[in-house]
Structure 1
């Protein structure tokens, strides 16, 4: 697909509509794309390597604000006008995609949406022809779907598989230099994720002023201190809130509003928040450095 395109823009417009989230505007040529996918194929997407396309060669996407376990779509209303949900019926796979990963989820309107590894599957209204991937990176939350359900990643070759995806995840995170992004969680509000999409947390036994580290030794086997980042490589977080602190072992750790931050090894997928309210001491951190609310 030599004419494939990739655009990683749209952080101010999470739907990529070109007209703001309130309009739901679909560009010319953005005909209904909610039909069945037919046979899913692994195709080369320019700049990304292996991605999933439908039987017509149209690129398929996933949304970071959705959840795979249990499957749930958080793209409704205007969003669904720009990102049509792919119907679940009549789906099959070709080489490179495990048929066991196919599934479906019931949307709020009662229709069934195709899922891959639990992730709801979408097309993008602005993609006009086979091989287009104009939705990649829109809002920092929309990504071309990889063969295993993860976001497609830049890499060499066309072979799929979990091992290749894991290596791509790590190399991509390194290339991004550990940037941070503020994301909207439907239950917890605005949270902070690292370059790998991992939710970041703060610990009640730490302190912000004076800065004190309460998670040391074996604690760091479960709660990994986040590495400092360049203030110019953050999205949706005030740069003046970004800092760093020296840990007892001499390494440096990222801080947000003076609070040391961590990732949780129990989070397996981008956007997971399984560490939130852990033991009543660990909380997902907001873009302001506050503790995210406790639900339920």
Structure 2
């Protein structure tokens, strides 16, 4: 018989401290990604995305170690923390749904944010980088859509172009699995590939382009020695850039010099490091 649990790990010892049973057995079983599970309200609550294929979010009390509630989010997917105790979720019509919860995990407000992108002409990637409570969502065709998630209702901001005219003529596009990562200093790192076409959004990339989110411009290009699938930048004053390559190994680059410093193997043929999470 299948049993679903939420495992709580100790960062220092890498050992399991607690398991919380998820009784309804409806969590989304997909390739791992950050926004399928998120902590909110100073880590007091964990949100878990469900897909049966009906979509909902389970609210878990991390102090009492119990499931409080399931919140239905029909037509919407994934979890983007917003406000004090809530989340927003991307919807199939190009809108967002913003929800705030009380201490018992019940919905106290629910707001539909009008459609702000065209899902047919230029959809958003569901992966984003978050800097100072602004979410940066790349689009399939190479634009950046910021969304302010600091308050209880998501507020889309003006999108900006990731590409110059010549880069757009060469069909440079974002692509891969975890294609974007942000640093607290305002930089975002995006995995890019040339000669993009409809359907190449999962193809990975040959370069990482670094953008200044304040100036809306590219400030550096990091050529990859091996084709990249996912990336993550570490925190701190001297960050490193980790890139999962096509052999499921992790290449570590110095963002300042754009040089490959080392390659890490984390389990051989059994490893699938699609999702990378920088430890703060």
Structure with the bigger percentage of helix:
1
Higher relative contact order, chain-length normalized (CA < 8 Å, sep 6+):
1
TM-score, scaled to structure 1: 0.27
